[in-house]
């Protein structure tokens, strides 16, 4: 067998295998092309994506800006204080024997409040009384001696110098008597002042001592509070105090009270407090029924009428981001986020003034929504031109 006959059986399968692989690749390519062509032209062609539906807002969720007056309100807070508060002090040292009143007791001016052991003060009074008796005896002797010396001088038995000395001793005796009398009167005044009596009408606010305690002079015993008139002391910013005047009516809301009470501005400080830009303002409240109590926290507000109509929107329409106020508007079927500059704010009506950034014909979202995107399609259902102002302040997702 020659070489040609040995090689021939090996070469034939290799060529057939190559032709089979090539045919398989061609079949796969043709199948892929057919699938692609059928996906483009066949009945199973994929539809194009449809745009998202527009956001819909009801009439209660949109509002147009309104021209309305915005009364200016100047507010300040502080505790109520009783300007007529008296502290009863011990005017002399001694032992407190008794107290006839307790905290909350009502007292009248001049009413006895208790008693003290004033033995030391009484001893000084007795001493001054004895001093007066001694001074009177000295004065009598000086007068007798002076009368005798006057007669002797008239008969030239003594010199004029001796008479002048006698007159000087008489004057000194008279002065000593007056001094002793003054000292006795001082001790008697101290005794009267040492009596524990109420200096004003009011209510016992606090007892500082108990019976049996040894007291020193000027030690605090009782605090008496007169609630007929109360004051609210607060501070107002320097840029707002210029609109306030003494005598203006003030609405005061006191914690725990269902209805506000009316007071008036009594005093305005002449200068700002050191280190602040605030000026003190004092409001006086009549409290004849004594319903209010000193120490209660109160909020005062002065309302100033505004004759000028201003462009306003609901408070809930104002949002804030990065220190800027903004509103959402519906313009040409899309949402637009507009930056605005706000002015006065009226909490009672729930509206805020817009100084810049908004037109009267704008359609404003009067409620707060989450997930809003500028440029998103939006439409208003119903009659939005008469939509009421929304009062909701809690953000809600856009529908």
Tell me where in the chain the CATH 2.40.420.20 domain(s) lie.
Answer: 59-69+308-397
Do residues 281 and 268 lie in contact, with contact meaning Cβ atoms separated by under 8 Å? yes
**Residues in the chain with pLDDT values less than 50:** 1-13, 35-39, 41-47, 384-397, 399
Residue 343: CB atoms within 10 Å: 14
Domain 59-69+308-397: top CATH class: mainly beta
Q: Are strands 309-314 and 72-81 parallel, antiparallel or unpaired?
A: unpaired
CATH 1.10.287.470 domain range(s) in the chain: 119-193
What one-character DSSP code corresponds to residue 315? G
Tell me how far apart the alpha carbons of residues 120 and 364 are, in angstroms, rounded to a whole number: 85
What is the rounded radius of gyration, in angstroms, for the C-alpha atoms of the chain? 50
Model pLDDT, residue 108: 94
Q: Which residues pair with 338 in a beta bridge?
A: 327
CA distance 91 to 194: 5
Helix (H) or strand (E) holding 85: strand 85-89
Q: Which CATH architecture has domain 75-82+226-304?
A: Beta Barrel (2.40)
What is the structure's pLDDT at 399? 47
> In the chain, which segments carry CATH 2.40.30.170?
75-82+226-304
pLDDT of residue 30: 57
Per-residue pLDDT tens digits for 237-263: 888 888 899 999 999 999 988 899 999
Q: What does the block give as tokens for 81?
A: 């204080």
> Please, are residues 65 and 354 in contact by the beta-carbon 8 Å criterion?
yes
Summarised one tens digit per residue, pLDDT across range 71-100 is 888 889 999 999 999 999 988 888 899 999
Closest CA to 65 of 351, 368, 367: 351
pLDDT of residue 46: 45
Residue 8 has a pLDDT of 42
Name the CATH superfamily, with its identifier, for domain 119-193: Helix hairpin bin (1.10.287.470)
Beta strands (DSSP E) in 277-366 are 278-286, 297-304, 309-314, 319-321, 324-331, 334-346, 351-356, 364-365
State the Cα–Cα distance between residues 377 and 133, nearest whole angstrom: 111
């Amino acid at each position: 067998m020659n070489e040609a006959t040995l090689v021939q059986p090996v070469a034939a399968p290799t060529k057939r295998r190559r032709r089979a692989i090539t045919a398989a690749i061609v079949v796969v390519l043709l199948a892929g092309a057919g699938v692609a062509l059928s996906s483009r032209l066949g009945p199973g062609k994929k539809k194009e994506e449809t745009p998202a539906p527009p956001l819909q807002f009801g009439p209660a969720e949109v509002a147009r800006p309104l021209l309305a007056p915005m009364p200016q309100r100047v507010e300040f807070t502080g505790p109520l204080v009783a300007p007529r508060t008296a502290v009863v002090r011990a005017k002399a040292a001694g032992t407190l024997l008794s107290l006839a009143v307790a905290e909350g007791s009502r007292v009248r001016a001049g009413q006895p409040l208790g008693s003290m052991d004033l033995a030391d003060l009484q001893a000084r009074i007795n001493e001054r009384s004895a001093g007066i008796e001694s001074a009177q005896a000295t004065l009598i002797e000086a007068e007798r001696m002076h009368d005798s010396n006057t007669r002797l001088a008239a008969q030239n038995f003594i010199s004029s110098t001796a008479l002048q000395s006698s007159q000087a001793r008489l004057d000194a005796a008279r002065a000593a008597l007056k001094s002793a009398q003054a000292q006795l009167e001082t001790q008697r005044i101290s005794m009267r002042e040492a009596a524990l009596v109420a200096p004003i009408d009011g209510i016992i606010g606090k007892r500082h001592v108990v019976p049996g305690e040894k007291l020193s002079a000027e030690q605090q015993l009782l605090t008496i509070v007169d609630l007929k008139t109360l004051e609210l002391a607060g501070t107002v910013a320097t840029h707002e105090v210029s609109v306030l005047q003494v005598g203006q009516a003030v609405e005061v809301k006191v914690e725990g009270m269902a209805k506000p009470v009316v007071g008036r501005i009594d005093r305005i400080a002449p200068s700002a407090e050191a280190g602040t830009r605030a000026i003190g303002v004092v409001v006086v409240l009549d409290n004849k029924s004594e319903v209010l109590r000193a120490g209660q926290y109160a909020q005062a507000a002065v309302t100033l009428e505004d004759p000028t109509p201003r462009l306003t929107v609901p408070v809930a329409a104002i949002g804030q981001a990065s220190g800027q106020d903004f509103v959402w508007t519906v313009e040409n079927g899309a949402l637009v986020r507009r930056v605005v500059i706000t002015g006065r704010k009226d909490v009672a009506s729930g509206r805020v003034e817009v100084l810049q950034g908004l037109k009267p014909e704008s359609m404003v979202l009067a409620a707060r929504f989450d997930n809003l995107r500028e440029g998103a399609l939006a439409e208003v259902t119903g009659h939005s031109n008469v939509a009421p102002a929304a009062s909701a302040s809690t953000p809600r997702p856009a529908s």
